[in-house]
Amino acid sequence: MSTVLSLYVANLKEFVRDRAAIFWTLAFPIVFIVLFGGIFSAGGSPSYNVGLVNQDNGPVGAGLADVFQHKVKPFKVTTSDYDHAIADLKKGTLDFVIVLPTGLSQTVESHHTAQVQFYSDPSKNQTTSQIQLTIVQQVLAVYNQQATQTVPPLALATNSINTHVVRTIDYLMPGILAMSLMQLGLFGTATPLVSLREEGVLRRLGATPLPRWQLLVGQVMLRLTIAIAQAALIIGISMAAFHVQIQGSMLALAGLVVVGAITFIAMGYLIASLARTVESASGISSAINFPMMFLSGIFFPLALLPAFLAPVVRALPLTYLADAIRQVSIGSVPDFPMWVDLAVLGGWAIVCISLAARFFKWD
Amino acid sequence: MAAQSSAITVEGLKKYYGATKAVDGISFDVRQGEVFGMLGPNGAGKSTTIEIVEGLRDADAGSVAVLGLRQPREAQAIKSRIGIQLQTTSLYPRLSVTEILDLFHRFYPNRKTIPTETLIRMVDLDEKKSTRSKQLSGGQKQRLSVALALVNDPDIVFLDEPTTGMDPQARRQLWDVMLDLKRQGKTILLTTHYMEEAEQICDRVAIVDHGHIIEIGAPSELVHRHFSEIAISFQAPDAAETYQSLAGVSHAVSEDGQVTVYTTDAPRTMTALLARESADGAALRGLNVHSATLEDVFLKLTGRALRD
């Protein structure tokens, strides 16, 4: 065991003394979280400029207008007519527009379903429009329960919308955490490993009686250390600077960090098995990195992706890691049950490890 | 009996890469305490051979025994008893000389090792012991890599072109280290394409070309076997045959405008050459008269110069 420990210490020294590696693995995620945190948590709680067009003369329109104007704290409501509101939306002075159409009250009173119109600019940030839409839907759901006079199975007070609003940064933090674990696995594992091989270090170590599994364990231990350091920094900064609250247990979160790190480190080893040069290793890593970054729901919800991409989305391990971390950290509605997330990540890890074990070349 | 006196026994070794026959039936024997050199140009098959003997490559055919153990079946046991210096070794670039040597001590848990301090003194790196390996000069890196080959106080030391690319001073420094090991009675298998190195360090030399051993023996013995002559070389555009008939000449070769004639009677040959010169009006440029060396042996056997 002391050999593995010595290798680990040697790897750690090698890493700590490499400023570029430190930057990409530790400073870069911090820059990322600070940047996103600065942009998406400004003012502490979110605030949206909402245009409200009430074309209804009856009590339903008035009631809803009152709720949007006074009960939903993140909404700064401006009432105007339809044309002005849409013009302002196009100019960008409004984030979205709610239209309560003519005859809304009559329709509701005659027990038919009435439609409240929601207008947003799709060229704008999709995450925020998703959040806004969710808030509007929640308001309508509460109203429906009251209007239909049924006893709601769960009493959702209107002000609960205010306190538990998920800000963009709350949504993004788990994604950034998952992304940094993925990038550690891809760029932080494959490239250094191929470079060790290219430079002949693996070959030299292979000329000693050192068993290969010890070499491997020493390497993986270093990556896990970096993963945990990265995660601690990202979570710590999010909590301290941007008041992100972790809803679930920290232990569960730490467990997910380790599971995610192992899955992507395994993927890094697989890439190192396929790539002969550092250039091809980083090429393959980038080719995997980009689709995962954009198709795994780390920057915007999966629901916003076109349906034809669904099979791709469902194949990517990052989708499940991000979903699992979000479930624990913001208590979001899961895209998949937790066991599915864990099973898919485990499956990817096993496949990558088996293939890497089969194809990895030491020199 | 053979197993006791032989440190290394190689028989009928073959390694093909597609159509290229890198090693094509090599057999030799290295005795305990012997410094054995494999001499040949780049691509002759020296490195492939030494790497198969070390257990870093598999052979296509043939057998290798190291210290009485079979390669590759007992590779792991062999590795702990031998020390390997590779042709290109780069190491953890950000670890210091001392840190790297200390780390390598850990790789031999079941063996008495030579303390790092002693190793550093042996290869004369005292002043650089805290320097990170990437800041070492080429020669210093090679000496560190030799030190790494000695960590486990090995029974056999493998040195694969240890002085290639070194300046003459660094080369001499490393020769001193090798001669030191030789005095300690270590068995050394060395590959080189420096004639002088083979002549100064090796007890026996195998001349390797195109995957074959074409001659084997002690350096002086090889020279005597092939030359009782004196070598006279000079620059001339003519083919070697032109000089074959000169008085006293037993053999002539030419390579890149350099003609070498081997003579049993140097004064008569010189006279004949000078007569030719005055007849043709051609000057004898770069005239050099010397006793034959391994270089000449190589040139005679392969028709090519060994130097790059």
Task: Please give the share of chain B, as a percent, with pLDDT higher than 90.
Answer: 40
Chain B residues in contact with A200 (beta carbon < 8 A): 86, 88-90
Query: Which residue in the set B86, B94, B95 is minimally distant from A200, CB to CB?
Result: B86
Those of residues 208-247 in A touching chain B at CB distance below 8 A are: 208-210
Given a cut of 60, is residue A1 above it in pLDDT? no
Please name the residues in contact with A39: beta carbons below 8 A apart, sequence gap of 6 or more: none
Phi, psi of B22 (to 5 degrees): -65, -45
pTM higher than 0.90 for the full model?
no
pLDDT in tens, B118-157: 999 988 899 999 999 889 988 888 889 999 999 999 999 9
Judged by CB atoms within 8 Å, which residues 173-202 of A form the interface with B?
Answer: 199-201
Burial class (CB in 10 A: 0-12, 13-18, 19+), B124: middle
Q: What is the DSSP string of chain B?
A: -HHHHEEEEEEEEEEEETTEEEEEEEEEEEETT-EEEEE--TTSSHHHHHHHHHTSS--SEEEEEETTEEETTTHHHHHHHEEEE-SS----TTSBHHHHHHHHHTT-TTS----HHHHHHHTT-GGGTTSBGGGS-HHHHHHHHHHHHHTT--SEEEEESTTTT--HHHHHHHHHHHHHHHHTT-EEEEEES-HHHHHHH-SEEEEEETTEEEEEE-HHHHHHHH-SSEEEEEE-SS-THHHHTSTTEEEEEEETTEEEEEES-HHHHHHHHHHHHHHHT---EEEEEEE--HHHHHHHHHSS-S--
B110 → chain A, closest CA residue: A209
CB contact under 8 A, A7 and B90: no
Please report the pLDDT score of residue A160 as a whole number: 38
Query: Is the Cα torsion angle B173, B112, A210, B96 positive or negative in sign?
Result: negative
- List of chain A residues whose C-beta atoms are within 8 Å of the C-beta of residue B86: 200, 203-204, 207
More confident residue, A171 or A3: A3
Per-residue pLDDT of B233-260, as tens digits, reads 888 877 788 888 888 888 888 888 888 8
Other CB atoms within 10 Å distance of the CB of residue A208: 20
Do the chains contact at B107 and A13, CB–CB below 8 Å?
no
Residue A157 burial by Cβ neighbours in a 10 Å radius (0-12, 13-18, 19+): exposed
B103 interfacial to chain A (CB closer than 8 Å): yes
Which of A9, A210, A214 is most worth mutating to test chain B (most B CB atoms within 10 A of its CB)? A210
CA nearest neighbour of B147 among B179, B172, B178: B178
| Chain B CB within 8 Å of residue A149 CB | no
* pLDDT single digits (tens) A246-295: 888 899 999 999 999 999 999 999 999 999 899 999 999 999 998 888 88
Q: Report, as an integer, the average pLDDT of A183-203.
A: 87
More confident residue, B31 or B301: B31
The pLDDT score that the predictor gives to residue A159 is 40
| Residues 6+ positions from A268 with CB-CB distance below 8 Å | A185, A186, A188, A189, A190, A193, A223, A285
From CA A328, how far away is CA A170, in angstroms rounded?
Answer: 12
Least Cα separation, residue A252 to chain B (angstroms): 36
Q: Does A204 touch chain B (CB under 8 A)?
A: yes
Buried b / exposed e over B9-26, threshold 16 CB at 10 Å, is bbeebbbeeeeebbbbeb
Nearest to B175 by CA among B135, B127, B139: B139
Q: Which of B80, B95, B109 lies closest to A10 in CB terms?
A: B95
The answer to whether the peptide bond before residue A306 is cis (omega within 30 degrees of 0) is: no
Residues of B in contact with A206 (CB under 8 A): 56
Write the pLDDT tens digit of every residue in B32-77: 999 999 998 888 888 899 999 999 889 999 999 999 999 889 998 9
Of B76, B89, B95, the CB nearest to A209: B76
| H or E, element range at A319 | helix A317-330
Establish if A2 touches chain B: CB-CB under 8 angstroms: yes
Check if B112 contacts A (Cβ < 8 Å).
no
pLDDT for the residue A161: 40
Please give the residue of chain B at the shortest CA–CA distance from A208.
Answer: B79
How close, in Å, is residue A271 to chain B by CA atoms? 22
CB of B264 within 8 Å of any CB in chain A? no
Closest-CA residue of A relative to B94 is: A14
Mean pLDDT, chain A, whole residue set: 83
Q: Sorting pLDDT into bands at 50, 70 and 90, what band is A124?
A: low
Q: Cβ contact (<8 Å) for A6 and B86?
A: no
Q: Kindly identify which residue of chain A lies nearest to residue B105, measuring between CA atoms.
A: A3
Please say if the pLDDT value at position A158 is more than 50: no
Flag whether pLDDT at A343 surpasses 90.
yes
| B69 near A CB under 8 A | no
Residue B8 has pLDDT above 60, yes or no: yes
Give the nearest chain A residue to B82 (CA atoms). A208
The pLDDT value given to residue A349: 94
Mutate which: B69, B79, B92, B132, vs A, most A CBs within 10 A: B92
Report ipTM (2 d.p.). Answer: 0.77
- B74 interfacial to chain A (CB closer than 8 Å): no
CA dihedral A220, A225, A228, A233 (to 10 degrees): -140
The two tokens of residue A246 are 């972790």
- Rounded alpha-carbon distances, angstroms, from residue A151 to A89, A136, A155, B236: 38, 21, 9, 113
User: Which pLDDT score is estimated for A203?
Assistant: 86
Calpha distance A352→A45 (Å, rounded): 42
pLDDT of B307 above 80: no
The radius of gyration of chain A's CA atoms, rounded to the nearest angstrom, is 25
Cβ of residue B135 closer than 8 Å to a chain A Cβ: no
Q: Per-residue pLDDT tens for A283-295?
A: 999 999 988 888 8
Q: Give the H or E element holding residue A117.
A: strand A117-120
